[in-house]
Amino acid sequence: MIKKPKYKGRRDLKRDGFSDNLAPLESLDLNKVKTFDDLVRGMKNTAFGGRAVGEAADVLEAMIRDKDCFVVGTFAGAMTVAKMGLLICEMIDRGMLRAIVSTGALMTHGMVEGVGMTHFKYDSRMNDENLFKSGYNRIYDTLELERNLDDLELIVFKVFSKLNFKKTYSSYEILEKVGQYLKKTIGAERAILKSAYEKKVPVYIPAFSDSEFALDIGVFNRRQKLKNKPLLKTSEFLDLEHFTNLIRKQKKIGIFTIGGGVPRNWAQQVAPYLDLINKRVGRGGKFIRYQYGVRICPEPAHWGGLSGCTYSEGVSWGKMLPLEEGGRFAEVLCDATIAWPIILKAVIERMEKNKRNKL
C-alpha cells in the first residue's frame, strides 16, 4: 500500500517576514519623542491610523522636495472656521503649494479671520432658532457672526467697484484682487489670499456661484442694475482653461487634499481633460497624471462618493500614476483638524533641519 505524503500546511513553511522583505513594526516609545517629527516617524512603524499619518508625512515631504513637482492644494470643509487657515498660509509661504483649489465658503471664512474678525465656540445650550434671531450662524461647534459677513461684503464691494466691467473675470482673478487689497490694508496680519497674492499662487473656486463671494457679486450686480451701471461678469470656464494651461506646462504634478468634494475632483479632472484634448482636438493636450498625492479626509470609500475615492480608483480614470510607474500616495482617514497639523509640523521640522544641515 502506497502511503500518501503528509500534507504540509502553510504554517510548516515558517517564513520569517524578513525573507519576503516585509517591513517590521516597532512599538511607539514616547521616551524617544522630542519633536513632532520624532512622533510621526515613530507612528509610521505602528499600525492603523497612526501608520497612515507617518506615511503621509513621508509622501508630503517627498513631493515638496521634488523640484520638478508642481503641487496643487485642494481644500473643502469648514477648515478656516475651524481655525486651520494659518496652516494654508504656512504651506503657501514656505513654497509647498503652487496652486490652490477651494470651496468658496472656506475662502470667505478665511477672509473673516484675515481681516481681524472673530469666530466663537458654540454653546450647546443655545437654541438654533434663537441663534438665527441673534445673528449667529452655526457650523457644528462653531459660530460665524452674520455681522462678520455683512462687514465682509463692504470690503469686497470696494474691490468689485475698481474692476473693469468690460471684462469677464475668473474666480482666480477676483481673488487675486482681493489678496492685493488685503496686502495693502491688514499690515503684518496673515491671510490666505494675502499669502497667495504675495507668492503668486492662483486660488480657484470652481463652484464659484456656491459661495458667499458669489452672493456678494449677485447683490453688487443688483445694485448696479438699479443704478443703470454695468454688471460684473464672471465665468468658471476661464478658471478651467487657466488651470489646464498651467498644469500642461509641468513635468510632474502632486496633489495635497483636505476633504474632497468639488475642489478635489476639479483639480484631478485636469489630467483626463488634457488627455481628451490630445485625443479629440489633436492640439493643446498632454498626457500627465498626478505622481504624488496626500489625502486627509474621514470619508470612507464604500459610500461611493468622490470624497472617499481612493487614489487607486483614480488610476482607472487616468488621474493618478500607478504605483508600478512611480506613483506615490498616502490616505489618512481622519478629521483634518487632528491629522493635518501633526503631519505639517513634522514636515516643517524636517525641512528646517535640512536647511540647517546644508548651512
Give residues with Cβ within 8 angstroms of 228, minimum separation 6: none
| Closest residue by Cα to residue 191 from 85, 81, 74 | 85
Mean pLDDT in residue range 332-355: 95
Question: What is the number of domains present in the chain?
Answer: 1
Position 43 in a domain: no
Position 335 in a domain: yes
Contact yes or no for 37/24 (Cβ under 8 A): no
Give the rounded distance of the alpha carbon of 321 from its chain centre.
Answer: 19
Position 31 in a domain: no
pLDDT band of 5, cuts 50, 70, 90 = low
Quick one: what percent of the chain has pLDDT higher than 70? 96
Give residues with Cβ within 8 angstroms of 120, minimum separation 6: 136, 142, 143, 145
Q: How far apart are the first and last CA of the chain?
A: 80
**So what's the pLDDT on residue 244?**
98
Position 230 in a domain: yes
- Residue reference for cell 475642489: 263
Position 33 in a domain: no
Is the pLDDT at 6 greater than 80? The verdict is no
Burial class of residue 359 in the structure, from the number of CB atoms within 10 Å of its CB (0-12 exposed, 13-18 middle, 19+ buried): exposed
| Closest residue by Cα to residue 109 from 144, 137, 134, 66 | 144
Quick one: what percent of the chain has pLDDT higher than 90? 84
Give residues with Cβ within 8 angstroms of 282, minimum separation 6: none
Range of the domain at 219: 60-358
219's enclosing H/E stretch is helix 212-226
337 sits in the region (left: phi over 0; alpha: psi -120 to 50; else beta) called: alpha
**So what's the pLDDT on residue 3?**
61
101's enclosing H/E stretch is strand 99-102
> Residue 202 and residue 242: Cα distance in Å, rounded?
10
Instruction: Show the cell assigned to 1.
Output: 500500500
Residue 132: half-sphere exposure toward Cβ, Cα within 13 Å? 2
Task: Express each pLDDT in 199-214 by its tens digit.
Answer: 999 999 999 988 888 8
Contact yes or no for 269/83 (Cβ under 8 A): no
Position 338 in a domain: yes
> Residue 58 and residue 56: Cα distance in Å, rounded?
5
**So what's the pLDDT on residue 168?**
97
Contact yes or no for 264/76 (Cβ under 8 A): yes
Is the pLDDT at 341 greater than 60? The verdict is yes
CATH number of the domain enclosing 174: 3.40.910.10
Task: Express each pLDDT in 255-304 by its tens digit.
Answer: 999 999 999 999 999 999 999 999 999 889 999 999 999 999 999 899 98
Q: Which amino acid is at 96?
A: M
| Closest residue by Cα to residue 307 from 317, 297, 292, 318 | 297
Task: Express each pLDDT in 212-222 by its tens digit.
Answer: 888 999 999 99
**So what's the pLDDT on residue 213?**
87
Instruction: Show the cell assigned to 116.
Output: 481681524
pLDDT band of 321, cuts 50, 70, 90 = very high
Instruction: Show the cell assigned to 52.
Output: 497612515
Give residues with Cβ within 8 angstroms of 322, minimum separation 6: 315
Facing residues of 92 across strands? none
Mean pLDDT in residue range 341-349: 98
- Residue reference for cell 505622481: 291
Is the pLDDT at 111 greater than 80? The verdict is yes
Position 333 in a domain: yes
Position 253 in a domain: yes
Q: Is the pTM of this model over 0.85?
A: yes
Averaged pLDDT of the chain: 93
**So what's the pLDDT on residue 306?**
84
**So what's the pLDDT on residue 20?**
87
